Structure 1
Amino acid sequence: MQADFSYEPVHDGAGCQMSVTVLADRDGVRDEMRCDAEAAGFRVLECCGFDEFASGASGALGDLVLVDCGEVDPACLALLSRLDMRCGKSGAQLVVSTTMEALDAVFGCFAMSGAQILVDPGRAERVIAIGRVLADVPNLRLRELAEEDRLMVLRLTEQVSKLAARLEGLSPGQGEGGGAFRLASPVQDWKASGDHYVMVDAADAPQLPRGDVIRKLIRARQLRARFFDAELFADPAWDILLDLAAARSERAQVCVTSLCIAAGVPATTALRWISQMVDSGLLMRIPDPADRRRAHIALTDGTTDLMARYFAAVEVGAMGELQAV
């Protein structure tokens, strides 16, 4: 079964057709990304490998920059950092595909551009990422999303991603030639309920339980997957908060790869949650002082206070136990 979905050229607010820069060393992946971007209505500005792009004149980037980076070396990381800076200043949208092995190094390169990072993606996931970019084009947005709907949209995007991957697996011809489909979702930053925290005297503020106590709760949550379908209990935001709370108690640093594993969902999905939680002020990026190209993730002070209050409310203290989390 094969389908060919074509769309009219996509234009910016000034009426100019939007352009795309495609960078990938793998010929097959580069051709796929170019095909899908053209099908979505973008004009291809440049399509080449990393070395060719790095050695050429530093011309204008497209409105969308699609990058596939499976293996990293110092020259590659330097190029990614330059792309992050250029896109952050110009407003170009970045979609970066990488592998789990290279994730920590690649993640640390992107702090300014708000890049979408996809981990070991299939073609369907790349198409969905292009759709998320199109959702930001002013003349394509149908309406602003209500504050209370943003979390629902993020969850819906996860379900659509899973469905797209299954459909792609059922349609061998889809990946060989034909266009792909476009699925767009609004990408406004989800905000946590409540704009500020209630501050009290430090002496009255509860403290986080010991790290081993929180780890015991995490293990209890993970045991459910032994008896039930793990997707019944998928709650990546909470699993991320628990893992970071344990790390905070242990005064340990958490890399993004470790946090993706702790989230219990595909790495690309976990990265979307991490990005949303950083944007909402629940989490923060901390540059690695030993290697500025890398970054760690941690709870903000306000989130740490809220987690401590939660544990106190369910009566989990330094030596406490919890019946259900």
Structure 2
Amino acid sequence: MAGDAPADGPAYAPRDGGGLPVAISLFADRPHVREAMRADAQLAGFRVVQAEGLIALDDGKTRALGDLVAVDASGADAATLAMLARLDKRVARSGGQLIVATTIGALEPVMVAMGESDPVLLVEPGRGERLVAFGEALARLAGARVRDLSAEDRVAVMRLVERVSLLAEKLDGLMASDDVPRDGSAAFAFGTGQEATGNLREHRQRGREADAPSPVPGLPDPRRIRALIRKRQARARFFEAELFADPAWDILLDLTAARAEGRRVSVTSLCIASGVPPTTALRWIAQMTRQGLLRREEDLVDRRRAFIALSDSAVEAMARYFDATGACDCAGI
């Protein structure tokens, strides 16, 4: 498909080595999503070279792709996962950048299918999250990867990205609808203190059913940690939850409790426990994994699932933390 933007693009357009706006290929089966992706890409200054359905990626034809490839994959059927795996390998070989949006239900099999290109993952993104993802992918393409910064600078960038995403969603009037799944359930009913319901509750329950290593000596009673988590969540009954968003600590607490209980935690369940939108949670999980705090584990029974656990050093650090704070009920809040 011919580009949808002028050849030279707007003055602010990101440029490739030839001085042209960076090319992006868009693939989505849902027409309204495809048009929204096209509008956002053009707003960001990219040169849209393709905007087609997913079938275009699997029709047997060899076609050039843009430097950035954005895909909306709402399903997790075998054909879609196989197509994503092939695209993942192709983008990894080409040195391009892949952005994949999916649903909370398809998140884990989609993650497992793409292990080579290190894609930017989004869960039912709103406009702000999509624009931030474009910027993140562009930064990787330019070689200015966040992981090359110091640990302190990486965390500062993560906080900035969160604020930009939040501001963009509010300005676009999407905050009320985009922070909750489309099935009407919520990871945490902000402002009510209620637990997850619907499909997300089922994900959380399934995510903790598999066998796991034995509890680790030195960690506190998991009931104490769960009580602390409930206290943290209770603040949302009285204040705006955004005031207390601290996904890194919520992730560490949830994984510490699970480790002490001898349970494993799925990626989906961990996104729920973080108390922030799934796309934000995925960004933190990736960052904490790069910093050596978390590690990914395979499900030997179901290859479509992925688990996240504390690294040995993180387990030791959490044990030392709770030992230093003693029996204080405020520890962890």
> TM class, shorter-chain normalised?
0.7 to 0.9
1:218 maps to 2:206? no
Equivalence map 1:176-255=2 (5 Å): 207-255=218-266
CA distance in 1, matches of 2:238, 2:292: 35
Distance in 2 separating the partners of 1:30 and 1:312 = 52
1:250-290 CA distances to partner (integer Å, 9 max, x unpaired)? Answer: 22111111111100111111111011111111111112111
Name the SS for the 1:47 alignment partner: strand
Shift of 1:28: 1.6
Paired amino acid for 1:136: R
> Is the Cα contact below 8 Å between 1:22 and 1:67 reproduced in 2?
yes
Asked if residue 256 in structure 1 is aligned to residue 260 in structure 2, the reply is no
Alignment check: 8 A CA contact 2:128 2:166 kept: no
C-alpha displacement of 1:159: 1.1
Alignment partner, residue 329 of structure 2:
322
Partners of 1:230 and 1:214 lie apart in 2 by 20
Distance 1:218 1:237 in 2: 13
Q: Report the CA distance between 1:164 and its aligned residue.
A: 0.6
Asked whether the equivalents of residues 13 and 139 of structure 1 are also in contact (C-alpha less than 8 Å), the reply is: no
Q: Name the residue aligned to 1:192.
A: none
1:275-310 deviation per Cα after TM superposition (whole angstroms, max 9, x unaligned): 111111111111211122321111111111111111
Is the 2:162–2:280 Cα contact (8 Å) retained in structure 1? yes
Compute the RMSD of aligned alpha carbons.
Answer: 2.5
Partner secondary structure for residue 135 of structure 1: helix
Which residue matches 2:316? 305
CA drift at 1:140: 8.7
Distance in structure 1 (CA, Å) of the matches to 2:56 and 2:116? 24
- Structure 1 match to 2:100: 96
CA distance in 2, matches of 1:65, 1:289: 31
Alignment of 1:111-150 (within 5 A): 111-138=115-142, 147-150=151-154
Contact in 1 for aligned 2:25/2:65 (Cα 8 Å): yes
Match of 1:80 in 2: 84
Matched residues, number: 281
TM-fit CA distance, 1:49:
1.1
- 8 Å CA contact 1:236–1:263 kept in 2: the answer is yes
Q: CA deviation at 1:214?
A: 1.6
CA distance in 1 between partners of 2:331 and 2:34 (Å): 47
In structure 2, the residue matched to 1:34 is 38
The residue number in structure 2 matching 1:285 is 296
Aligned to 2:162: 158
Q: Which moved more, 1:248-257 or 1:104-113?
A: 104-113
TM-score (norm 1): 0.78
Q: Which residue of structure 2 aligns with residue 269 of structure 1?
A: 280
Look up the SS of the partner of 1:297 in the other structure.
Answer: strand
State the identity as a percent.
53
Contact 1:7–1:40 (8 Å) recurs in 2: no
Deviations 1:217-261 (A, max 9, x none): 211221222232222221100000010111111221111111111
The answer to whether the 8 A contact 2:108-2:304 is kept is: no
In structure 2, the CA distance between the partners of 1:163 and 1:40, relative to structure 1 (3 Å rule), is closer
Residue pair 2:265, 2:307 contacting (<8 A) in 1 also:
yes
Question: Which structure has more RCO (C-alpha within 8 Å, separation ≥ 6)?
Answer: 1
**Do the aligned residues in 1 keep the contact of 2:120 with 2:137 (CA within 8 Å)?**
no
Out of 72, 84, 89, the position equivalent to 1:68 is 72
- CA gap 1:165/1:79 in 2 versus in 1, 3 angstroms: same
CA gap of 1:275–1:145, structure 2 versus 1, over 3 A, is closer
Aligned to 1:108, the other structure's residue is in SS state: helix
| One-letter code aligned to 1:262 | A
TM-score norm. by structure 2 comes to 0.76
The verdict on how the C-alpha distance between 1:224 and 1:121 changes in structure 2, with shifts beyond 3 A counting, is: same
Give, in whole Å, the separation in 2 of the partners of 1:68 and 1:309. 43
| Residue 137 of structure 1, CA deviation | 4.4
Does the 8 A contact of 2:97 with 2:141 survive in 1?
A: no
